[in-house]
Amino acid sequence: MSPVLSAALAKKIDDLAARYPAKQAALLPVLHLVQNEKGFLSAEDEQAVAERLGILPVKVREVVTFYTMFRRSPVGTYHIQVCTNLSCSLAGGDGLVEHLEARLGISLGGTTADGKFTLTGVECLGACEQAPCLMINFDYYGNLDAAGLDRILEGLA
Amino acid sequence: MISLLIDGRPVEVAEGTTVLKAAERAGIAISHFCFHPAFVPEGSCRLCLVQIEGSPKLELGCSTIVREGMKVSTQSPIVREARRGVLEFLLAEHPLDCPICDKAGECKLQDYASDYGLTESVFREAKEKREKRLPIGEKLLLDRERCIQCTRCVRFLSEITKTHELGLFERGIHSEIGIYDGKPVRNGYSGNLVDLCPVGAITDTTFRFKTRPWFLARGESVCPHCSRGCNIYIDYHPGFPRVPGSAKVYRIRPRVNEAVNGPWICDYGRYGFVEAQNTGRSDRPFWNKGGAKTELSWDKVRIVLGEKLKALRESGRMGRAAVAASGWLTNEELYLIQKIFRDDLNVSRLFVVDPKPGEGDAMLLRPDRAPNRRGATELGFDLALPSLEALGRETEVLIIFGPHLAAHFGGDELRAAFDKIALKVLVTSHLAGLESLADCVLASATPAEKEGSFTNADGRIQRFAAAARPCPDVRPELWILQDLAREIGLRSDLYSRAASARTVFEALAKEIPFFGATA
Amino acid sequence: MTKAPKILTELFWLEHLHRIEAYLDRGGYQALKKALTEMKPEQVQEEVKKANLRGRGGAGFPAGVKWGFIPKGTDKPKYLCVNADEGEPGTFKDRYILNHNPHLLIEGIVLAAYAVGIHSAYVYIRGEYEMIARRLEQAVAEAYAKGYLGRNILGAGFDLDLVVHRGAGAYICGEETALLESLEGKRGNPRLKPPFPALVGLFQCPTVINNVETLSNVPFIVQKGAAWFLEQGLPKDGGTRLFGVSGAVAKPGLYELPAGTSLREIITTHAGGMKDGKKLKAVIPGGMSSPILRADEIDVRMDVDSIAAAGSMLGSGAIIVIDEGTPILHVLRKIAKFYAHESCGQCTPCRLGTSWIHKIVERMAAGGGTRGDVDTLIRLAGNIKGRTLCPLGDAAAMPVTAIAQKFRTELEATLERSPVWP
């Protein structure tokens, strides 16, 4: 059975941990690393990370469940995170949510049947001058209207 | 030293003392949930807010350090308003469980809600629905709806036992306490979580739904299940007069003693105590001759035994008697055994037989599973186990205190030795296998049911009084010994029933310097 | 109209400014050279103090004074944490600096570290800024390669290590002690103060925490002096501020203006006034946590002290403009949802209060509001403010109180009516 963390991943974790006087301090960057590679954080990932950093699995789960960006279940190939905060709403962001829900046939929090898109609502992304905006995986898109949004979605493989 | 005023009362405390501790010193209690003297102050419940002159905001009592000349108000209108605010928030999401919640009657949320006059709720929204019966330990259930997130449970496991079984997951209103998959609380001290929880979020399955705190009386005692001698409260139902078997011990809780157990007790003692108190009891005297068991009254027993022992004494065969005492007997009882058998009857063979040692731990539990072996040592008893073979050969009458011989020797061995002994008297609180081999079984009281003192392994002598009411037909070994002594014809003030355990101890203290220090 | 001096944003138009060659070409790292070769650390500190550089993260605390709290002669390691969490809704200024001119920030970091005697620094950047974090890491690598970070910087015998550390989506981690907890690999639960981070901070050691924009001003102060810096702003509030304007304006964007510029001027002149002829209803002047101002209250000077005197706060300088077409209940709904979602949950009033307020506002928005709800909101917010373990409680309470008080009539008109638009 293959190990939970590949040798390459384990090495990257060790490198990250070496940047801090205490290994636990590397936990957030390490969880990002593992999540980016595996798509989400499973209980086995929690335990493997815990072991690698010399902390208890319960402490890892405390962190995984605290921070919005850490996921305990898979998301689609494209994770569309729409800002639902004030400035984006003032620029029509709530309409974008409706448009996406209709176009993708899912509601906020859901994933399309083909596993391509997951749609979530998030708080302020820090791009209010380009409201309304959203983030797909790590890419920001701003100044959106329904047409522009459609073009982006079509452009995604 | 720092001098300050709390609610107008002057108080002087050492530098570095918190306002809450200083208030305690002045006899003022400051309401709190998350604070506990054994933990680092957390400051999250926000209930202990106080008003300090010169400070624009209310400050926390649990973590603010006193300053010279500080003027603190713990009950001003603004403070009471702030505390009502905190309580209102907690009550808003709290389930209306009081009628079915074990903690009712000893719940701090109830108490404070009453103190601060919160009777009506304006919360009209839907309360958060959460798990209500989550197993988090062998005898522990967590009700997440009742949990007020004081995190005392989490911090006990991280600061005291350092086993970290509980974690705090999610964020905000969705925060919840829980265990990691398949790793429940199992560290020998889990029962303390129930005491720590200020509300009924963590409940004990051995106590759940069994009774109500306001039906229980509380006695102070000492746990006898190892030689640590943790101080305890015994919570017992005094019993209804016409309902047999209704007098019962329901639970024990720690009694704070900084020098012995702090504010904790171990699970072995906590749960073992109640189980031992309530099950397997020898509850009345009986005679066991020729396979038939005949119940006797105490008077009958006293007369029959007294006759036999008198006869032995008169015919000069008392030297062929032996006594197996136990570290479960009090200092007073052990002393009387020496006075009666060694001094007055010239019995040379006195032994001490106790349960086998068990596992100890780094906190409270000691391997020595008897409360008073140190007492026996200081009294001059020899703690070596007797040779059964020799005992069988040389003994005509054997008096055994406690069922512990059965822990060291097998049934056949014991039977082989006992068959050669003419009279075997067993004085025991529990029927644990030895009773079928004895001729006469006398039902004795447990330490919870009698007065006396134990000497713990550190040499600390701790007195206790009778807490639970015993089954009507059990008697403290002290009385059994006194009654027998008089029946045999021995004379001493100490053998009269008028001599209480206290009186016996005073005599003991005069005779043996070790016990004199605490007379 | 106030002149818009370009100090921080002067070179933002330069496409490759984030590359060290471009930055050096434009005079970058000269301030650092000056400090390391001509000034003692205490002198750098003194200059920043005299410049009255107020913290630009939200609290407005003078940076030079904060640096002075670090104990001298301690044998514990000292740390500098750069707060790049930028979570205050409406705020995006630090993103600009990080994205367009990361070397300016790096230079500011090294200068601050030099001033206080710190040899280990962490940039705590919010996890959503992943692409920007990568650019920052690139800049850091360039700085190391050219000797502006690492051992013996510019041969002056000063060492500094800089690590870029990502957050993972928690507004509370913008609060300095929660940031420290998060940096240590734990939940972002704020710590009790005292002790303050200057004494007991990262890994229990003395720590300075400064905002990105705050540190980015330091090279200019060192290069041109405190007196010059004060001239760009006000005697008690030196320099320019980066105002981020969003909402119903014609030209949402970042505007660098002197501290003390009028809010009305920022909106009507610089940001192009109301969009599509809409009418101004209200302005949130300093990020979502700041008390709302009515249309008739925007003649206020945007410096820390003036706007505080007017009953609001400068905060992060994020100006959110609301038009008459937006029901105030809708604004309140976004605010209530945000704080309920971001509360860490540690202390009673915030955990339960933000949730209760959120539930009431949702019920009002769904048409179920009843008489007394507005008073309840004000009372609950009053039971949160000043009672919590950290300022997020105040941040959650103040906007609710301000809206409920200033727009009471409009809110009460929604009670026992049909649902508001979503």
Pairing of strands C79-84, B134-137: unpaired
User: Would the pLDDT of C421 be above 60?
Assistant: no
A61 in B contact zone (CB under 8 Å)? yes
Question: Is C163 within a domain?
Answer: yes
Q: C36 CB near a chain B CB, below 8 Å?
A: no
Please indicate, yes or no, whether residues A84 and A53 belong to a single structural domain of this protein: no
- Give the number of A-C residue pairs with CB atoms closer than 8 Å: 147
Cα nearest neighbour of B123 on chain C = C356
**What ranges make up the beta strands (E) of C14-90?**
79-84
**C99 Cβ under 8 Å from any chain A Cβ:** no
C-alpha A29/C-alpha C125 separation (Å) is 11
pLDDT digits (tens, 9 = 90+) for A104-150: 999 999 999 999 999 999 999 999 999 999 999 999 999 999 999 99
Chain C contact for A72, CB < 8 A? Answer: no
Bond before A132 cis per omega within 30 degrees: yes
Q: Is residue C50 part of a domain?
A: yes
Q: Are residues C202 and C89 in the same domain?
A: yes
Bridge partners, residue C323, by sequence = C280
**Residues C349 and C366 both lie in one domain:** yes
Check whether residue B198 and residue B319 sit in a common domain. no
Chain B residues whose CB is inside 8 A of the A59 CB are 164, 167
Residue A21, both tokens? 């006087």
Does some domain include residue A71? no
Sign (positive or negative) of CA dihedral B249, B254, B256, B260? positive
Which domain does B49 fall in, by range?
2-75
Which structural domain range is residue C247 located in? Answer: 240-323
How far is it, in rounded angstroms, from Cα A85 to Cα A89?
Answer: 6
- Print burial letters for C129-149: b (CB count within 10 Å at least 16), e (below 16): bbebbebbbebbebbbeeebb
Q: What is the pLDDT of residue A157?
A: 67
- What's the one-letter identity of residue B125? E
- Residue A50 sits in a domain whose CATH number is 1.10.10
Number of structural domains, chain B?
A: 3
Q: Which of B174, B204, B234 is the endpoint of a domain?
A: B204
pLDDT above 60 (res C418): no
As a three-state string, the secondary structure of B248-313 is EEEEEEECCECCCCECCCCHHHHHHHHHHHHCCECCCCEEEECCEEEECCHHHHHHHHHHHHHHHH
- Residue C9, in any domain of the structure: no
Q: How far apart are CA B119 and CA B114, in angstroms?
A: 8
C318 and C359 in a common domain: no
Candidates A126, A15, A25; CA nearest to C122 is A25
The span from the CA of A94 to the CA of A132, in Å, is 9
Question: Does residue C341 carry a pLDDT above 70?
Answer: yes
Query: Which of B331, B329, B369 has the alpha carbon at shortest distance from B352?
Result: B329
Q: Which residue, chain included where needed, has tokens 């989506």?
A: C169
Dihedral sign of CA atoms A34, A36, A38, A42 in order: positive
Q: Do B58 and C349 touch (CB under 8 A)?
A: no
Triad C169, C173, C174: Cα angle to 5°: 110
* A100 within some domain: yes
Over residues C343-356, mean pLDDT? 98
3 state DSSP class of C284: strand
Closest-CA distance, B168 to chain A, in angstroms, reads 6
Q: Is the CB of residue B484 less than 8 Å from the CB of residue B302?
A: yes
Q: Which residues of A touch B183 (CB under 8 A)?
A: 57-58
Whose tokens are 């302020």? That residue is: A124
Indicate the DSSP class of residue B160: I
Residues B312 and B189 in one domain: no
- Residue the block writes with tokens 């013996």: C152
Kindly report the number of other CB atoms within 10 A of residue A151's CB atom: 10
Number of domains in chain C: 3
Beta pairing, strands B140-142 & B134-137: antiparallel
Lowest model confidence (mean pLDDT) among B433-437, C94-98, C143-147, C292-296:
B433-437
Is B478 in contact with B330 (CB distance < 8 Å)?
Answer: yes
| Residue from C85, C171, C92, C99 nearest C132 by CA | C99
Distance CA C148, CA B25 (A): 58
Q: Which residue shows structure tokens 């501020």?
A: C241
CA distance, residue B91 to nearest chain C CA (Å): 10
Q: Within this chain, do residues B67 and B146 fall inside the same structural domain, yes or no?
A: no
Three-state secondary structure call for residue B360:
coil
Q: Which two structure tokens, joined as six digits, stand for C252?
A: 């949402």
C359 touches chain B (CB under 8 A): yes
Please report the pLDDT score of residue C419 as a whole number. Answer: 59
Mean pLDDT in consecutive groups of 10 residues from the start of chain B, 519 residues: 96 97 97 97 97 96 97 97 97 97 98 95 95 97 98 98 98 98 96 98 97 95 98 93 86 98 98 94 87 87 89 87 96 97 93 96 97 97 91 92 94 92 94 90 95 97 88 92 94 95 96 82
CB contact under 8 A, A19 and C128: no
pLDDT tens-digit profile of C64-109? 999 999 999 899 999 999 999 999 999 999 999 999 999 999 999 9
Contact A56 B180 (CB under 8 A): yes
Tally of domains in chain A: 2
| Residue B407 shares a structural domain with residue B298 | yes
Residue B519: predicted pLDDT = 46
Instruction: For residue C382, give Cα distances in angstroms to B55, B78, C286, C289, C376.
Output: 18, 12, 21, 15, 10
C5: in domain: no
What are the tens digits of pLDDT across the range A18-38?
999 999 999 999 999 999 999
**Whether the predicted pLDDT of C14 surpasses 70:** yes
Q: What is the extent of the structural domain holding A147?
A: 78-155
Kindly state whether residues C147 and C255 are assigned to the same domain. no
Segment C202-229, tens digit of pLDDT: 999 999 999 999 999 999 999 999 999 9
- Any chain C CB within 8 A of the CB of B148? yes
Q: Structure pTM? A: 0.95
Q: Are residues A89 and A150 in the same domain?
A: yes
Residue A73 covered by a domain: no
Task: Give contacts of C416 with chain B, Cβ < 8 Å.
Answer: none
Residue C417 scores a pLDDT above 80? no
At B10 the three-state DSSP class reads strand
Q: What is the pLDDT, as a whole number, of residue C213?
A: 97
Final residue of a domain: which of C323, C338, C363? C323
**DSSP codes, B116-136:** TT-------SPPPP--S-EEE
Model confidence band, residue C355 (pLDDT cutoffs 50, 70, 90): very high
Paired residues of C274 in beta bridges: C249
Q: Give me the count of residues in chain A.
A: 157
Residue of B nearest to A70 (CA): B170
A62 with B168: Cβ contact below 8 A: yes
d(CA C413, CA C328): 11
Assign residue C39 the CATH number of its domain: 3.40.50.11540
Residue B101, helix vs strand vs coil = coil
Q: Strand C120-125 to strand C293-294: parallel, antiparallel, or no bridges (unpaired)?
A: unpaired
Give A120 to chain C, closest Cα distance, Å. Answer: 13
Minimum distance, in Å, between the CA of residue A157 and any CA atom of chain C: 20
Higher pLDDT, B182 or C359: C359
Radius of gyration of chain B (CA): 28
Place of tokens 């706060």: C313
